[in-house]
């Protein structure tokens, strides 16, 4: 997508590229997501490098790193975990949150919350934000 869209952004002297990474780049789950975490780590590094290259030409580049988002797929996953654990959906969510080391806000984020963050980052109101990764994980990753 960058190869297709970046040239026109550079030609007009403005634009915003937002890559969606994951907190798993900083908090991988070795038993299931090592390759995914590595790919997201590479995407975050690429985003930072691209930002340094194209921001002086008017194009901002950012990365958004969601934690657990309550999508249809994650609901199904929590339901499977719940069934295996002999509990209900809320119990399944708690098991998943415990696997992640906890989510201090006490729940996964919603797709709408992620969309709102991305809309803000794409807007002129965030015009001085570039080269950054913004986590939306309810406090899951315990470091800055």
Query: What is d(CA 41, CA 15) in angstroms, rounded to the nearest whole number?
Result: 23
DSSP 8-state symbol, 25: G
* Catalytic site residue from 33, 36, 74, 96: 36
What is the chain's pLDDT, residue by residue, as a tens digit (144 residues)? 999 999 999 999 999 999 999 999 988 877 678 899 999 999 999 999 999 999 999 999 999 999 999 999 999 999 999 999 999 999 999 999 998 889 999 999 999 999 999 999 999 999 999 999 999 999 999 887
Contact 96, 140 (CB under 8 A): no
Per-residue pLDDT at 81: 93
Closest CA to 130 of 80, 62, 68: 62
Per-residue pLDDT at 143: 80
Contact 103, 139 (CB under 8 A): yes
36 is an active site residue: yes
Residue 105: CB atoms within 10 A of its CB come to 12
Query: What is d(CA 26, CA 52) in angstroms, rounded to the nearest whole number?
Result: 22
Q: Check: pTM over 0.85? Answer yes or no.
A: yes
């Amino acid at each position: 997508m960058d190869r297709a869209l970046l040239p026109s952004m550079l030609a007009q002297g403005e634009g915003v590229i937002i890559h969606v990474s994951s907190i798993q780049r900083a908090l991988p789950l070795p038993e299931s997501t090592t390759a995914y975490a590595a790919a997201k780590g590479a995407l975050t590094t690429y985003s930072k490098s691209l930002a340094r290259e194209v921001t002086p030409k008017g194009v901002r580049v950012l990365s958004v790193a969601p934690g657990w988002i309550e999508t249809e797929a994650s609901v199904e996953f929590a339901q499977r975990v719940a069934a295996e654990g002999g509990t209900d959906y809320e119990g399944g969510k708690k098991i998943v949150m415990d696997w992640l080391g906890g989510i201090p806000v006490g729940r996964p984020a919603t797709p709408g919350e992620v969309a709102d963050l991305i809309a803000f980052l794409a807007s002129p109101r965030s015009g001085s934000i570039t080269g950054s990764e913004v986590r939306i994980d309810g406090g899951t990753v315990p470091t800055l």
